[in-house]
Amino acid sequence: MNQKDIAAIRKHFKLNAEAVKIADIYNIYIRQDSNEIFYEELRSFPFVEQEHQELFLANFKKVLGGKIDEKLFEVKFQHPEPGQTDHTQTLLYEALRTDEIEEWAGMMQRIALKMVQEAPFEKDMVVTFIRFKYNKPTRRHSEETEIDMRDEVWTSRFILCSINQTELPKQSLVFDYIEREFKSNIFINPVIKLDAPIGGFMFPCFTDNAADVNHILYAAQKAHQPDFGFIENVLNGTEIVTAVEEKAMFEEVVKTVIGEEVNVGTLATVYDEINQMILAEAEREDEEESVPMIDARTVEIVLKASGVEDVTTEKVEQAFQQVVDDRQYEMKASSVVPKYTSKSIKINTKVANISISPQDLKYVRQVNVKGKRCLLIELEEDTEIEGFKLISEELLD
């Protein structure tokens, strides 16, 4: 899946949407003290009160919020072990195929029980499952409505799960107008935090208008912090690599090839070369969005284009083998470059901390002035400190 596909589904989580049709909703309340299912409720979503629908729809949008490989991860399923009857891929696949609502809920309950057994919670939790149809226009003829009769539409079924914590409201002091006195307002009913899901997933993934039942889209609570235990034990998924980890791999590969030291100009050119790859892919028309990948050959080309000397195919392949134990490993280009137009690069020194964007890195140099290391930043305007304009000092010849 790509970011565009996920965003398209998210925007249709709204009342009376034509593209996303939610059939059923199944809520399970899990008590922390016993790690058991305390209560469950199965309903047809169109018959849920409108106010509740709006709360849940906002929650589902939050589950699918965030960027791929940062907060959302496409996870490949492990192969089921012989005789395994509760493999999550099997349960979800069979649940998609059945038209019996009770049978579907029974399979979702088995997945919820795995959460209780494999990933016990610290607070009371509510696990919500929905199944919905997504009607995706493959070619639009009209912009007047969500889906026009002349649109060519790809339709598929999906299951989405959200996991939400509960909390007890804080005790407060209120004024009783009738009794004309101050009272303590004590609430005993837990509040379900639908505005802040702590995780979830959607099944199946899809690519080029084809369902991919061998992958599941996992949603973490925080960016770059997936729950690996949940992925392995509840979803029965294989190991994933985050964008932060891939960036660290790329940096280690480059260091292995060219050494620990590099001048700023070379680093700026490396980032620029990779960003050009990303932009070129984004500008391709009439094709599905795809993510450019970086392999050993790409790294070799980028380093040579950046002016690095003595770069060979053998050196780069050996670096991949040493760092990731795979000469053929591919990294997502979007993962290895800091966000290009934002101040995503941090330069930390004892004197000052500076944030700069990769596209402006070319204006920075480390130089020696009278035997001292200095950070030189090329400016196009006057610098002000506390309202004072600085005077330029001619220290460099």
Q: Which of 182-191, 348-357, 376-385 has the lowest mean pLDDT?
A: 182-191
pLDDT at 286 > cutoff 50: no
pLDDT band of residue 274 (cuts 50, 70, 90) is: very high
Query: Nearest Cα to 18, choosing from 153, 147, 193?
Result: 147
Give the per-residue pLDDT at 40: 95
Residue 357 is classified by DSSP as -
Query: Nearest Cα to 195, choosing from 12, 328, 63, 22?
Result: 63
Give the per-residue pLDDT at 142: 47
Ordered by start, the domain boundaries in the chain are 3-240, 244-336, 345-395
d(CA 388, CA 265): 31
pLDDT at 44 > cutoff 90: yes
- In this structure, the dihedral spanned by the alpha carbons of residues 25, 112, 204 and 295, taken in order and rounded to 10 degrees, is 140
396 CB-near residues (< 8 Å, 6+ apart):
367, 369, 376
Instruction: State the average pLDDT for the chain.
Output: 89
The proportion of the chain whose per-residue pLDDT surpasses 90, expressed as a percent, equals 60
Tokens of 269: 């050119």
pLDDT at 284 > cutoff 80: no
Give the per-residue pLDDT at 291: 76
Mean pLDDT in residue range 307-323:
93
- The alpha helices in 283-344, defined as continuous H runs, are 296-305, 313-324, 333-336
Mean pLDDT in residue range 275-291:
72
Report pLDDT digits (tens) over 136-192: 877 654 444 555 544 678 889 999 999 999 988 777 888 888 888 888 777 778 889
Q: Which residue has the higher pLDDT, 119 or 26?
A: 26
Report pLDDT digits (tens) over 106-150: 999 999 999 988 767 888 999 999 999 998 877 654 444 555 544
Backbone angle region of 116, left / alpha / beta, with phi > 0 → left and psi within -120 to 50 → alpha: alpha
pTM for this prediction: 0.84
Give the per-residue pLDDT at 143: 47
Give the per-residue pLDDT at 288: 55
18 CB-near residues (< 8 Å, 6+ apart):
12, 135, 145, 146, 147
- Position 365: which residue type? R
Mean pLDDT in residue range 54-62:
96
The proportion of the chain whose per-residue pLDDT surpasses 70, expressed as a percent, equals 93
pLDDT at 57 > cutoff 90: yes
